[in-house]
C-alpha cells in the first residue's frame, strides 16, 4: 500500500505540474516537456487535460488506493503504447522525440506492474 501511495504522490507532483504547464502555456510545454520534438498545437493542451485528470484521480487515490488503482492501468497502457508506436520508431529512424519523456515513461512502465494491486481486483 505504501508503494501505491508513493506512485500516487509522484503522479500528483509530476502530472500535476506538467498538466498546468501544458494547459496554461503550451509554448513552454512544447519547449520543455516535449523538448521541441513537436510543434506547439492545441494537442498539447489536450494532453495536459489528460495529465490533469491523472493527477486529480491520484489525489483521490491517496484516500482510496485500491478503488483508484485503475488509473495506473490506464497509464501503463498509454505510456507503453506511446513507447512502442512513437518513441521506438523515432529511435530506430533517428528522428527527434522527447527523450526525457520517453525515459520517464519507460521507468513508469517498468514500475507500475509491480505496484498495481492485481490481486485486489480479483476478490
Count of structural domains within the chain: 1
What tens digit of pLDDT does each residue of 43-75 get?
A: 999 999 999 999 999 999 999 999 999 999 999
**What angle is formed at CA 9 by the lines to CA 55 and CA 61, rounded to 5 degrees?**
65
What tens digit of pLDDT does each residue of 84-110 get?
A: 999 999 999 999 999 999 999 999 999
Q: What is the three-class DSSP state of 123?
A: coil
Asked if the model's pLDDT at residue 120 lies above 90, the reply is: no
Residue 79's CB is within 10 A of a number of other CB atoms, namely 20
User: What residue numbers bound the domain in which 11 lies?
Assistant: 2-121
For the chain, the distance separating the N- and C-terminal CA atoms, rounded to the nearest angstrom, is: 16
- Global pTM? 0.90
Residue at grid coordinates 490506464 = 74
Amino acid at each position: 500500500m505504501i508503494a501505491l501511495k508513493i506512485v500516487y504522490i509522484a503522479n500528483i507532483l509530476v502530472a500535476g505540474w506538467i498538466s498546468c504547464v501544458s494547459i496554461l502555456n503550451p509554448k513552454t510545454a512544447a519547449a520543455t516537456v516535449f523538448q521541441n520534438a513537436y510543434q506547439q498545437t492545441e494537442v498539447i493542451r489536450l494532453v495536459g487535460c489528460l495529465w490533469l485528470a491523472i493527477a486529480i484521480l491520484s489525489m483521490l487515490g491517496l484516500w482510496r488506493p485500491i478503488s483508484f488503482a485503475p488509473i495506473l492501468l490506464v497509464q501503463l497502457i498509454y505510456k507503453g503504447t506511446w513507447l512502442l508506436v512513437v518513441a521506438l520508431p523515432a529511435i530506430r529512424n533517428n528522428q527527434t522525440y522527447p527523450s526525457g519523456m520517453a525515459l520517464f515513461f519507460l521507468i513508469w512502465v517498468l514500475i507500475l506492474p509491480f505496484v498495481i494491486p492485481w490481486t485486489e481486483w480479483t476478490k
